[in-house]
Amino acid sequence: MRLIPVVALAAAFPVVAFAADPHSYAQPDAVRVTHLDLDLKLDFGKRELAGNATLKLDWKDAKAKDLVLDTRDLKIASVEAVDAAGKATPLTFALAPRDKELGSKLTIVAPAHPAAVRIAYATVPEASGLQWLTPEQTADKKQPFMFSQSESIHARSWVPLQDSPAIRFTYDAHVSAPKDVRVVMSAINDAKHPLNGDFSFDQPHPIPSYLLAIAAGDLAVKETGPRSAVYAEPSVVGKAAHEFEDTEKLIATTEKLYGPYAWGRYDILVLPPSFPFGGMENPNMTFATPTVLVGDKSLVSLVSHELAHSWSGNLVTSAAWRDIWLNEGFTTYVQGRITEAVYGKALADEEALLSARALQKSIGTMPANAQKLTPDPRSVGADDALSDVAYDKGSWFLRTLEQRFGRENFDTYLKGYFAHFAFQSIDTDTMFAYLKANLLDKYPGKMSEAEALSWIRQPGIPKDAPLPASPRFDAIDRERTDFLAGKLDAGKLDAKGWNTQEWMYFLDRLPDVTPLAKIKDIDAAWHLTGTPNAEIGMRWYAHAIAAGDKDVWTAAAEHMTRIGRLYLTTPVYRAFARTPEGLAFAKETYAKAKSGYHPMTQQAVERILAGKSKKK
């Protein structure tokens, strides 16, 4: 597979030094990992990855004596220095007590500055970045399944490394697995690889640790284009391939907008329902939730989003979690442009308006620091940084820039930005310096530096922030108002032709506690209880539970048990938790569903049930 040599472009720009990452023990100013070589055995019975991680090192400080790595719950057996000839020498190491968020600092004493160190280790079954599923928890119920989720700081739970987005490295891996199991990673994958239990991978581009990914299970493959394929369990792969058949068109569209796709192949792995996110932009292989497989392509903007990360996030990466809007805000903006080009402006505007209205409703309930695009990192956990503010306020800012400077000028700026910082990790100050030189100063009078900085550094949303127009949403607003006022029966809503986004919009803007009679009328007319569309179901059950409709509880519990995606599950738990009876039912449901949830979902639900939830 020919790779576009974007690396050569990035090589002209030096690695930028940043303040210490508060979410990592690593000391990259002393020594920096440049390459990772993994040799692992996958054991479903033990729920364990075990083997060696060899780290190639670039020593920056001649006086440095230690290599400091991030780990969480790893069992470290030994550490060795490895010289250029491959000779190994034991090294002294110390594993510090476990910090609840950061894990345990691994300090390796290495005053002789070895070219590489080799760490023998094993994961624990409860590793926060891995989920092990029994055959019964998969779609086809034939073989066990395992997948990783390294974002934000969970790579350290399955590999000892410098777990900071500021540090990029290439990697190769050899993985031994049971026969008849397919292993895939965030690298080029061979769809025709024999299921012989012996897999090798190579990622030649430098990536940050949160993009390190692995999965293994009963996986079939269907090609969707000359450089794309879908991987999924055999019973799912056909449906997934149909849903994602436009993948090549999406890649080509993005290339026209923002330059060459640098990664060679773009494959999609559809995971079991326990996957905690909508999608994860792992290089070469997006991990995706099955909840987008609704049959009508109405939710394939998820693919547009994860593909967009191939430019914003994977190619140009935020150097710290406080700057994650550089990944997610830019990506959400690019997602909208892809959706507009392939599926039309009306759908892109609806999706932008949905997110903007939701943010307008929620942002005022957040602490002031959390409302900023660059919050104080000391009061925001790495996982917490992935909030609606990063996605939706960030993309709203970029849409504002596009409107002020014109699409042609903004596209030129953005294409240049991706090329200039290719395969680098940057912070907001670095991004802003480029923005100032290549947009604000280049076209004076369009937006002042102070106004642009207010978007980034101030809480809230500027009062003059532009919103897209949507005649269909305007019509839905009128119908919703008339329905709530008793002027329009539920059955007379013009909803027969509503797409998923339009149903989402109708439900999103119902009162937080809608009268029970109105909820009953909607369900009688449109039969939302039991919907297979999880986006609609999440909203519907939350409203119905808040209204006191106990008739939906069984279907809501089925939704909560079937789906492990945080965004689609936690709002329903939250709705139940507002009353003593609902809380008791939620706890009973969770006891049945827990084993099928990812550790991240378990933690989030347990916070809700304990009354400690932070709504994001």
Annotated binding site for Zn(2+): 305, 309, 328
**CA 611/CA 599 separation, integer angstroms:** 18
Strands (E), 60-129: 66-71, 75-82, 88-90, 93-95, 104-109, 116-122
Distances (CA, A) of 494 to 35, 40, 154, 509, 530: 57, 56, 46, 16, 21
Structural element, H or E, at residue 182: strand 182-185
CB 139 within 8 A of CB 236: yes
Helix (DSSP H) and strand (DSSP E) numbers for the chain: 19, 21
Q: In 354-455, where do the E strands start and end?
A: 424-426
Q: Which two tokens stand for residue 264?
A: 């060679």
**Which residue do the tokens 């009162």 mark?**
511
Two structure tokens written together for 438: 């290549």
Tokens of 417: 């930005």
Catalytic residue among 306, 350, 351, 402: 306
Core vs surface per residue 412-446: b (16+ CB within 10 A) or e: ebbeebbbbbbbbbbbbebbbeebeebbbeeeeeb
| Residue 299 to residue 293: CA distance in whole angstroms | 8
Which is it for strands 267-270 and 228-232: parallel, antiparallel or unpaired? Answer: parallel
Residue 418: name the closest of 319, 310, 279 by CA. 310
The yes-or-no answer on residue 306 being catalytic is yes
> Residue 485 is encoded by which pair of tokens?
């006022």
**What values do phi and psi take at 42, rounded to 5?**
-100, 120
User: 210, 266, 343, 391: which one is catalytic?
Assistant: 391
- Distance spanning both ends of the chain, measured CA to CA: 41
Residue with tokens 């769809």: 191
148 bridge partner residues: 130
Cα 284 to chain center, whole Å? 15
Binding residues: 305, 309, 328
Rounded alpha-carbon distances, angstroms, from residue 36 to 33, 172, 552, 587: 8, 6, 50, 42
Q: Are 182 and 193 in contact (CB under 8 A)?
A: yes
User: Quick check: 128 and 381 in contact, CB under 8 A?
Assistant: no
| Cα–Cα distance, 539 to 541 (Å, whole number) | 6
Q: Which residues pair with 167 in a beta bridge?
A: none
Rounded-to-integer distance, Cα 604 and Cα 379, Å: 18
- Neighbour count for residue 479 (Cβ, 10 Å): 17
Measured in whole angstroms, the distance separating CA 312 from the mean position of its chain's CA atoms is 12
Angle CA(566)–CA(568)–CA(569) in degrees, nearest 5?
65
Show which residues are catalytic: 306, 391
